[in-house]
């Protein structure tokens, strides 16, 4: 073995030994140590041969790969591969990835307040937050951002474009925009501000039935939903008869947010339970008395993009006979991940629990089958708050199905109604 390989091996062994000692002292601080059994297998023995193999592979890659490779990068990739090899949801987060994760869970960041998707020549604005710097600057939905601070936008790298539009509060951003019907590019200078992402939108479908769309579960989702329900009820002389809760394409997010939303509509019953190896990973959460809708009938719209926290909410309301589910089979993510901060701004996102619905079922890999399964080609959820004076139920066939379901006293959707969404 070369001197460098021996050095790498020594570092790896030292790291593994340090981790072992750290874990051992942590266990000792929590419980009394059991007497050692000389006959017991050395379950904590370090895999020396594997560490030696890793050092050898690193040396071969370093010496023979077509391009020079930094040792730090190799070790970072080895760590990432180790964690991501556990399952599809565990990962090692770089500082930038960890910051993005905190934005997605907290629901706030410093930026200009636009939602963008990849488009020809750049990224297209598909949404602006009300009162955002982008809206005040005059950026419109449909505008294509082709450069940021003089650097061309790569449509194939959406994440980088989004990251470049974020930055310190008060800093300036220069955008070049292609607008339909304009031959030349438009130039905008926008000041970044604190932006609060909104995960809940609401409107009335009829004078008696409200509509709530939840796009993700963040730390503020439950309070947003509670305020939205209060606004809908305030616009009427009496309480709502029913609510359509749209979870289509909601990838999930913060577990506690889904639990709180479920509790908002439940007076009693289990919301979710989980099993894991540590005490914190084992829990059962029960609903507390109180229903913000005063017993209004509920229909939830779900599809294959409804995952994780969305499925926790759907199962909690369905299994407690509180809501009817309409749509397509959900994604089927039945595990809970915990974010563990590490040094240098990095973090570990690792699966720590498997959760179960109130009926005691694991949906992992199988999802939730709705009470009414819609057939045919699925259309994306229709835009809300348009100026065309066409109701949301008219623009979105699945919302129409949910509305008809709530209009029936039985809460069941007839076959003829199901066909309307095809």
From CA 185, how far away is CA 204, in angstroms rounded? 39
- 132: domain CATH number is 2.30.42.10
pLDDT of residue 106: 81
Judgement on whether residues 260 and 314 belong to the same structural domain of the protein: yes
pTM of the model as a whole: 0.77
* Same domain assignment for residues 211 and 182: no
Active site residues: 308, 319, 333
Query: Is residue 2 assigned to a domain?
Result: no
Residue 21 lies in a domain: no
236 and 367 within one domain: yes
Q: What is the pLDDT of residues 300-319, one digit of tens each?
A: 999 999 999 999 999 999 99
Q: What is the pLDDT of residue 246?
A: 97
User: In this predicted model, what pLDDT tens digit does every residue of 235-262 receive, in sequence order?
Assistant: 776 789 999 999 999 999 999 999 999 9
Q: Are residues 260 and 367 in the same domain?
A: yes
- Same domain, yes or no: 275 and 346: yes
* pLDDT computed for residue 386 by the predictor: 63
pLDDT at 36 over 70: no
104 occurs within a structural domain:
no
Query: By residue range, what is the domain housing residue 120?
Result: 110-196
Same domain, 208 and 277: yes
pLDDT in tens, 382-405: 877 666 678 889 889 999 999 999
Query: Is 75 part of a structural domain of the chain?
Result: yes
Asked if 371 and 415 sit in the same domain, the reply is yes
Q: By C-alpha distance, which of 107, 148, 93 is closest to 346?
A: 93
pLDDT value at position 388?
Answer: 66
SS3 128: strand
Name the E strands within 140-292: 144-148, 151-152, 172-178, 186-191, 193-196, 200-204, 209-214, 242-246, 270-276, 283-286
Does some domain include residue 173?
yes
> Could you tell me if residue 48 is inside a domain?
no
Shared domain check, 143 and 80: no
Q: What is the CATH number of the domain that holds 253?
A: 3.90.226.10
Number of domains in the chain: 3
Residues 59 and 166 in one domain: no
Same domain, 303 and 413: yes
Q: What is the pLDDT of residue 261?
A: 98
Q: Which residue has the tokens 């006979």?
A: 321
Residue 325 belongs to a domain: yes
**DSSP-derived 3-state class of residue 355:** strand
- 188 and 234 in a single domain? The answer is no
Q: What is the pLDDT of residues 192-208, one digit of tens each?
A: 998 887 899 999 999 99
Q: Is residue 34 part of a domain?
A: no
């Amino acid at each position: 073995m070369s001197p460098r390989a021996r050095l790498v091996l020594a570092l790896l062994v030292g790291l593994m030994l340090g981790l072992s000692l750290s874990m051992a002292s942590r266990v000792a601080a929590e419980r009394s140590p059991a007497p050692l059994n000389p006959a017991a297998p050395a379950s904590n023995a370090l895999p020396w041969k594997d560490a030696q193999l890793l050092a050898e592979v690193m040396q071969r890659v370093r010496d023979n790969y077509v391009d020079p490779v930094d040792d730090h990068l190799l070790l970072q990739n080895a760590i990432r591969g180790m964690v991501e090899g556990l399952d599809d949801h565990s990962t090692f987060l770089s500082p930038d990835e960890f910051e993005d994760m905190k934005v997605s869970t907290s629901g706030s960041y410093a930026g200009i307040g636009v939602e963008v998707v990849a488009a020809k020549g750049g990224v297209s604005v598909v949404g602006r937050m009300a009162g955002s710097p982008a809206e005040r600057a005059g950026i419109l939905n449909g505008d294509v951002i082709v450069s940021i601070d003089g650097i061309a936008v790569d449509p194939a790298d959406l994440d980088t474009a989004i990251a470049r539009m974020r930055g310190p509060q008060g800093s300036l951003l220069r955008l070049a925009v292609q607008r339909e019907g304009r031959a030349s590019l438009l130039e905008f200078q926008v000041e970044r501000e604190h932006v609060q992402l909104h995960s809940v939108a609401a409107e009335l479908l009829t004078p008696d039935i409200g509509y709530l769309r939840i796009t993700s579960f963040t730390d503020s989702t439950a309070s947003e939903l509670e305020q939205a329900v209060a606004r809908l009820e305030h616009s009427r002389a009496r309480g709502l008869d029913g609510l359509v809760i749209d979870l289509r394409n909601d990838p999930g997010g913060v577990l506690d947010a889904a639990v709180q939303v479920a509790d908002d509509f439940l007076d009693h019953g289990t919301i979710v339970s989980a099993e894991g190896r540590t005490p914190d990973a084992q829990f059962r959460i029960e609903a507390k008395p109180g229903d913000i809708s005063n017993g209004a009938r509920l229909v939830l719209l779900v599809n294959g993009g409804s995952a994780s926290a969305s499925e926790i909410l759907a199962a909690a309301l369905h299994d407690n006979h509180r809501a009817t589910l309409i749509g397509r089979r959900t994604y089927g993510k039945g595990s809970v991940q915990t974010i563990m901060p590490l040094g240098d701004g990095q973090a570990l996102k690792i699966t720590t629990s498997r959760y179960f619905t109130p009926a005691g079922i694991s949906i992992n890999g199988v999802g939730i089958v709705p009470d009414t399964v819609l057939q045919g080609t699925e259309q994306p959820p229709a835009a809300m708050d348009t100026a065309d004076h066409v109701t949301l139920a008219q623009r979105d066939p699945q919302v129409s199905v949910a509305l008809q379901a709530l209009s029936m006293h039985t809460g069941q959707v007839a076959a003829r109604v199901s066909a309307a969404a095809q």
